[in-house]
Amino acid sequence: MFWLCQSLSLLLHPYTILYNMTERKTYHSTLGDLLLEAENRTLTMCKWSDTAIHDNEGCVSSCSKGGFLDIVSSGLDEYLAGKRKTFDIPLADRGTPFDNIVRNLIASIPYGDTMSYSQIARMTGRPGGARAVANACRRNPLCIFVPCHRVIAADGSLSGYSGGRERKKRLLQLEKFPDQQQCYIRKNM
């Protein structure tokens, strides 16, 4: 019996390794490089490389052609060319319960539209929680896919953005005037 169990575990082991595959890739654009990470065909991270703190320990990298992150990259190409307004990529739900509520609300902000931190705070049931919403935005590991750049101050100013105000401004311009934004497509590298 012991021998049978050992044999089965050896047979199943390669599938277990494949099932828990983590992919990492750097996506290059004229707005800056994005670090992409996925586990089991679910996007777990999309952060600007100059703002991300990233741990490479314990990762099995798989960036072969046709991988999940190639699909993600194609979607980013289309978005930055003004040809995609929504994404249908599975996203990881990591963070505190409040962070996840805020991210779900942000994900519902339509392309080309904006909402203020205080509006989102009211929608969470915390009318005075604009700063808590801003902190949840700051911790968002899925920029562009959970579009925190669409969240602005109550007075209409851009306020902060983890990728920097200039990127926030350019992303909002892309969404308001998609036909004029051909310059944001991936850099040739």
The DSSP code for 186 is P
Whose CA is closest to 43, among 138, 141, 139?
A: 141
Provide the Cα torsion 61, 63, 69, 74; round to 10°.
Answer: 160
Per residue in 81-123, pLDDT (tens digit) is: 999 999 999 999 889 999 999 999 999 999 999 999 999 999 9
Give the helix/strand (H/E) hosting 142.
none
**Catalytic residue list contains 59:** no
Given 46, 137, 143, 148, which residue is catalytic? 148
Helix 97-107, helix 130-138: angle, nearest 10:
90
Beta bridge partners of 26: 35
Tell me the pTM.
Answer: 0.79
> Sorting pLDDT into bands at 50, 70 and 90, what band is 50?
confident
132 burial (CB, 10 Å; 0-12 / 13-18 / 19+) is middle
Per residue in 54-73, pLDDT (tens digit) is: 544 434 444 556 689 999 99
